[in-house]
Structure 1
């Protein structure tokens, strides 16, 4: 691999890494949900047209079936009255109605299969959309937790860094040195008159205490 290809790959890797840092996973999920919602709405519109056509064909089938039954009754009535010509006319219309019914039935059954497939696809798409929405809510909670943990860890790392570290032993030695210095000054202090009387009182108390021994 030439040095130019290696440099190009390094640049691409850094660019992809920068993009990964810039991308907000929740925004990506929100966009995915919007795309899925749009697809689902389009599918529902297309499905509504097919379901509408199915209903229309079903209505025509019922009408053709009713017409066939009606003409069948008229054929029987005409034959009972001895009017074969009228019976033939009614029979022709009955056969036309039967033919129309069979044609509509074939179309209906074919379209019904497509409608059933569409229902399944719509159901699957809706289920996938619901899962994505649920995952999005979970992802928000996880991302918030991760961000909070990251901030806490960064703060802890900063507290423990050398720049912010404090040597407690050094502080203790400095305080002890100050205390010793103060005690030394105290021992050099000349007793006041009041201090001398206070010392006498303490001696008297010691003598009184000796009486109980």
Structure 2
């Protein structure tokens, strides 16, 4: 039973993954471009076939025109030969009539070929327009795909950065930094307090000496003794 449940869970995961891949805009756009390129290949193949039929119809128009002119010339030659006595008149009329019938058939075939060519020309124009539209759509969607990929990269980078920032705040790092600032400020204030206490702890003797400047007084006394030994007297005295 547990094994079946696990298989069911795996199947669910694969289905969700398939749905996610179907809904992925990049994959959908890529598939759309592939479909359009297949349509373009099919359209180009059909266009080539229609152009081939158009060329064939054009050649038929020329062939039927040449045949018509040829049968018309043959009918004229037959009548001229009968006129010159080279051919029985009745036989000449029969053959000339057959040639003119062939000429008319060629003329009918030429008209049909012209109609086919005109129809194929219209088909070619329509299909060329369709091919042009498909190419434009492919180019448009390829550009859209490039932009979409760039937007996805920016979105992923922004999401990752925002996620990191959110995790920093959620982990209490900002709170820890504020506590450290408060701790440092407290230590600095405590050091300043100890400094003031140390300054107030000077002895009375130090305060007295500082007030009368003992070092200066001693220096003056030593100077007077040195002058007395040298017999130097003050000019004022």
The question of a shared fold, defined as TM-score above 0.5 by the shorter chain, is answered with: yes
SS of alignment partner, residue 102 of structure 2: helix
Distance 1:154 1:76, change over 3 A: same
Distance 1:185 1:170, change over 3 A: same
In structure 2, stretches of 5+ residues that fail to align are 1-14, 218-237
Cα RMSD (Å): 3.7
Distance 1:164 1:22, change over 3 A: farther
Equivalent residues of 1:67, 1:97 under 8 A apart: yes
Equivalent residues of 2:22, 2:28 under 8 A apart: no
1:72 aligns with 2:72: yes
Q: CA deviation at 1:169?
A: 5.3
1:151 aligns with 2:164: no
Taking the aligned partners of 1:150 and 1:22, their CA distance within structure 2 comes to: 22
Taking the aligned partners of 1:52 and 1:18, their CA distance within structure 2 comes to: 44
1:119 aligns with 2:97: no
Query: Structure 2 residue aligned with 1:138, among 147, 150, 154?
Result: 147
Q: How many residues align?
A: 185
Equivalent residue, structure 1, for 2:35 = 35
Equivalent residues of 2:33, 2:138 under 8 A apart: yes
Equivalent residues of 1:71, 1:94 under 8 A apart: yes
Equivalent residues of 1:57, 1:108 under 8 A apart: yes
Question: TM-score normalized by structure 2?
Answer: 0.62
Distance 1:169 1:108, change over 3 A: closer
Residue pairs, 1:159-178, within 5 angstroms: 159-161=168-170, 163-166=172-175, 170-178=179-187
Distance 1:169 1:95, change over 3 A: closer
Distance 1:128 1:88, change over 3 A: same
Measured against aligned partners, the alpha-carbon deviations of 1:179-213 in whole angstroms (never above 9, x if no partner) come to 2433455554999xxxx9xx98xx69x99xxxxxx
Taking the aligned partners of 1:184 and 1:68, their CA distance within structure 2 comes to: 126
Equivalent residue, structure 2, for 1:6 = none
SS of alignment partner, residue 68 of structure 1: helix
Equivalent residue, structure 2, for 1:104 = 113
Equivalent residues of 1:26, 1:139 under 8 A apart: yes
Equivalent residue, structure 2, for 1:211 = none
Q: CA deviation at 1:113?
A: 3.0
Equivalent residue, structure 1, for 2:104 = 95
Equivalent residues of 1:158, 1:164 under 8 A apart: no
Taking the aligned partners of 1:98 and 1:144, their CA distance within structure 2 comes to: 68
Question: TM-score normalized by structure 1?
Answer: 0.68
Measured against aligned partners, the alpha-carbon deviations of 1:73-102 in whole angstroms (never above 9, x if no partner) come to 333444445264353343232112112112
Taking the aligned partners of 1:114 and 1:167, their CA distance within structure 2 comes to: 77
Equivalent residue, structure 2, for 1:7 = none
Taking the aligned partners of 2:191 and 2:66, their CA distance within structure 1 comes to: 118
